[in-house]
Amino acid sequence: MPMAMSSPMGLSLLLLASLTALLVVAPRLSPPPQAAAAAAAAAGEEAPPAAGASGAKALASGGGVWGAALVEEEADDLRLFRRAALEEAGGGAAAAAGEARGPPKVAFLFLTNSDLTFAPLWERFFAGNEARLTVYVHADPSSRLRLPPTPSFRGRFVAAKATRRADASLIAAARRLLAAALLDDPSNAYFALVSQHCVPLHSFNRLYTTLFPPHPSAAAAPRRLPSYIEVLTGEPQMPERYAARGEGAMLPEVPYDRFRIGSQFFTLARRHALLVVRERRLWRKFRLPCLPDMAQDMCYPEENYFPTLLDMADPAGVARYTLTRVNWTGSVAGHPRTYAAAEVTPQLIDELRASNNTHPHMFARKFAPDCLGPLLAIADTIIFKD
Ligand SMILES: *[C@@H]1O[C@H](CO)[C@@H](O)[C@H](O)[C@H]1NC(C)=O
Ligand SMILES: *[C@@H]1O[C@H](CO)[C@@H](O)[C@H](O)[C@H]1NC(C)=O
């Protein structure tokens, strides 16, 4: 390969060969998206959340004026998600049954549109635990991001697309991260979505024993690990969130009483990660654009899609809370409280860890970039000290 590339003749031959291959193979590799979707639906490939609408109806609703463009745009994503699902049906099943080689891993999914400022802190968190974790980054391609000067993120960037607030692109990005991590390593057992503003609040070991508690009968029965995702109902903003795409737009797939809300930042068990990448019926609804007058304050579909889907599909399998602390008190324009350097103290770490749930919080957001120094200063003595 390097030899062929070094001669112009070799290069053009190579180009010609790959073009030919593309022309010959492409029609078979990429059926028209509609056909692929129909085939997948016929094969029963969608996760079956309880609300039972027919696949045909859902397909039809995806074919509106905007539908064709959206479906087109997603063809490559669709292929990625199908590949992840197919792999799982083959080799991945052994992993799901706990037969993967080596220990189960935690996949850290970094969703970012700016520099990973806290990379040095994450690096300290990862150190010595490399056999039990993996790292993936979805970086908005329009952001000019500097590669973190630390080894864990090198070569870990997945194919990414633009992400924006107030539309479904953050859902799509999270699905892409999940699919990439499912495909990449059958040992990935948990998938923790974090952003560039998130920081760890405990050591990796503490996180690991929280996610994989030592269990006397572990050998006897494969454990059904819970997903840590916030699932709320009856929040004041829910009627407007539900109607953000128009009156009745979510029907019939998502009746109002099945609609849920929760933090975008979750830690999903592998079976739920798979469920998400296979799912398309709800996704077709949640990716609909919000009405212009709702888009300002009521369009955060990433906070509705995941809790709604998982609560429909496996209500007993989710913890209903997240491991990621956020402070919404005094939030401005949909942004939570962002901590500044001067606020980083051992007391703050303590307060953020505290939780009313079974487990303390393992991560927190949002932290301003200038917090890196103060956080590193208390990393070993406070944050990673259990
Ligand atoms: C959350 O934010 C509010 C308002 O800024 C602040 O008073 C409170 O101390 C914060 N809580 C924590 C745990 O930092
Ligand atoms: C725990 O619950 C109490 C009472 O509802 C509430 O005031 C407090 O903010 C909660 N703490 C956390 C960390 O969510």
How confident is the model over 4-23, as a mean pLDDT? 40
What local confidence, expressed as pLDDT, does residue 334 receive?
79
Question: How would you class 219 by CB atoms within 10 Å of its CB: exposed for 0-12, middle for 13-18, buried for 19 or more?
Answer: exposed
Q: Which of 324, 329, 367 best tests ligand 1's pocket when mutated (most atoms within 8 Å of CB)?
A: 329
Total-model pTM: 0.81
Domain segments of the chain: what residues? 54-213+224-383
Mean pLDDT of 45-49: 35
Among 323, 325, 356, the mutation site with the greatest number of ligand 2 atoms within 8 A of its Cβ is 356
Residue 266's nearest CA partner among 329, 205, 203, 190 is 190
| 357 CA to centre of ligand 2 in angstroms | 10
Residue 151 and residue 119 in contact, taking contact as beta carbons nearer than 8 Å:
no
**Closest-approaching ligand to the CA atom of 361:** 2
* Mean pLDDT of all residues in 175-187: 96
Ligand nearest to the CA of 347: 1
Beta bridge partners of 367: 339
Q: Which are the contacts of 176, defined by CB distance < 8 A and separation ≥ 6?
A: 77, 80, 138, 158, 159, 160, 161
Q: What pLDDT is recorded for position 58?
A: 32
Tokens of 41: 């639906």
CATH entry 3.40.50 includes domain 54-213+224-383: no
Which of the two residues, 58 and 263, has the higher pLDDT score?
A: 263
Q: What percent of the chain has pLDDT over 70?
A: 76
> Residue 335 to residues 297, 327, 365, 375: CA-CA distances in angstroms?
11, 10, 11, 21
pLDDT for residue 218: 53
**Residue 212: pLDDT over 80:** yes
Residue 85, pLDDT score: 86
Tokens read off for 303: 């906070």
Task: Compute, in angstroms, the gap from residue 356 CA to the centroid of ligand 2.
Answer: 6
State mean pLDDT over 221-225: 70
